[in-house]
Amino acid sequence: MKILAIETSCDETAISVLEIKGGPKNPRFKVLSNVISSQVKLHAKWGGVVPSLAKREHQKNLVPVLIKSLKESKLLKSKIKSKKSKLQIKIQNELNKILERELELLRRVKIFLRNYEAPKIDLIVVTNGPGLEPALWVGINFAKALAIAWNKPLFAANHMEGHLFSVFLQEKQRREFPISNFQFPIITLLVSGGHTELILIKNWLKYKMLGQTRDDAAGEAFDKVAKMLNLGYPGGPAINRIAEAAGGHRMSFKLPRPMLNSKDYDFSFSGLKTAVLYKLKEIRNLTPEIKAIFCKEFQQAVTDVLISKTMRAVKEFKAKTVILGGGVAANKELRKQFQKKIAITNDRKYLLNLLMPEIKFTGDNAAMIALAAYFRFIKKKGPADWQALKADGNLKIF
């Protein structure tokens, strides 16, 4: 089967086509296309994502991104001349209703549908949360419009579940996914711009939230600290890059590791951000060298907390697999230190498997959304009435 997935939960407009071969017990996946149009440069001017701007940009970008994605998947087919500009009145009326709040998108969708045939896909999937609701709505309404016009089923996917499944994506090859080989329990750490979640998975789609952030998400802390250091938005990649320049140098002081020793699995990063702010005030001359050492120490503080809590959960629940996902999973130091930690944990009696997404799939993309939805689709765990599908900014993973 072929799934077309749409992701607009934040500042990336993403559409992907995923092909799945084999049965549900042993599916093989191939990413036919994974198109992402990032609005990062636009939001960078404001120091973070502006929801109304994101909504406007998604409306502008969705149709071009769809065309590109279908083209790359070899599924884009122009209508023959005589069939062009014919859209059934009934469909036009439905589109007018679905996209009554996205008039710019409505105009573009109509032009698109007049010019192109319905592609040979089996299912449309869209992220319905968590994320920015104005942004999510654009994707949802677009997906509904396509489902009506093409007469295809529509399914919803949870953005964080997408990050979780992103570890099974591979850019080039068709990825074997031997479900039966998978070792439970799994402990998964999802770290993005909006979330920091530690989840226990006892079986597919059976989640237990062990802990989450009480204030800022890990990615958000990177973004805020980067702002203090004038490194622009998004901050994670910049801090990661600059910290590398510090080499073996360290700060003469240590930043706090918030909640490192708390008995629960919650996180808190806002105190760390405040500690950075105070320390920065003490430094008179912030040379590039000191900035690099500062970035390194901040990154290490976050890494220490994330790894320590994850490993404690691994121990308590006797996990056999660890999954790391989300935008912050692109952090090279976090990846390296996780690998190291797990390597020293492993011995002949206890083998812990670490799964991390390819860097390309760490940030927001629609291939992960297609994959997450596929697992719900085969287990028939989806919305009964997709026409009533709503955006839910705080959608939970279970």
Of the chain, the end-to-end C-alpha distance in Å amounts to 25
Q: How far is the CB of 189 from ligand KG4 (least distance, A)?
A: 13
- Cβ–Cβ < 8 Å for 63, 108: yes
With a CB cutoff of 8 Å and minimum separation 6, the contacts of 370 are 3, 4, 5, 16, 17, 18, 125, 157
Q: How far is the CB of 16 from ligand KG4 (least distance, A)?
A: 15
Q: Is residue 139 within the footprint of ligand KG4 (CB under 6 A)?
A: no
Q: How far is the CB of 117 from ligand KG4 (least distance, A)?
A: 33
**One of 8, 141, 170, 192 touching Zn ion (CB under 5 A):** 192
Residue recorded with tokens 């399914």: 155
- Picked from ligand KG4, Zn ion, none, the partner binding residue 330 (CB below 5 to 8 A depending on kind) is ligand KG4
Q: How far is the CB of 365 from ligand KG4 (least distance, A)?
A: 9
Subset of residues 220 to 259 that bind ligand KG4, contact rule: CB under 6 A: 220, 222-223, 234-237, 240
Q: What CA–CA distance (Å, rounded) separates 294 from 279?
A: 9
Q: How far is the CB of 329 from ligand KG4 (least distance, A)?
A: 8
Q: Hey, what's the torsion of the CAs at 168, 172, 359, 199, to 10 degrees? A: -10
Q: Which is nearer to ligand KG4, 266 or 333 (CB)?
A: 333
Q: How far is the CB of 231 from ligand KG4 (least distance, A)?
A: 10
Q: How far is the CB of 90 from ligand KG4 (least distance, A)?
A: 37
SS3 178: coil
Q: What CA–CA distance (Å, rounded) separates 23 from 124?
A: 19
Instruction: Tell me how far the alpha carbon of residue 102 is from its chain's centroid.
Output: 24
Tokens linked to 284: 């008179």
- Picked from ligand KG4, Zn ion, none, the partner binding residue 27 (CB below 5 to 8 A depending on kind) is none
> Which DSSP symbol is given to 364?
S
- Cβ–Cβ < 8 Å for 157, 9: no
Subset of residues 347 to 386 that bind Zn ion, contact rule: CB under 5 A: 364
Q: Print the binding letters for residues 289-328 with ligand KG4: x by CB under 6 A, - otherwise.
A: -------------------------------------xxx
Name residue 180's amino acid: S
Q: Which is nearer to ligand KG4, 102 or 364 (CB)?
A: 364
Q: What CA–CA distance (Å, rounded) separates 238 from 233?
A: 8
- Picked from Zn ion, ligand KG4, none, the partner binding residue 211 (CB below 5 to 8 A depending on kind) is none
Q: Print the binding letters for residues 30-69 with Zn ion: x by CB under 5 A, - otherwise.
A: ----------------------------------------
- Cβ–Cβ < 8 Å for 357, 127: no
- Cβ–Cβ < 8 Å for 346, 311: no
Task: Summarize as ranges the residues that interact with ligand KG4 (CB under 6 A).
Answer: 10, 192-194, 219-220, 222-223, 234-237, 240, 326-328, 330-331, 363-364
Task: Summarize as ranges the residues that interact with Zn ion (CB under 5 A).
Answer: 192, 364
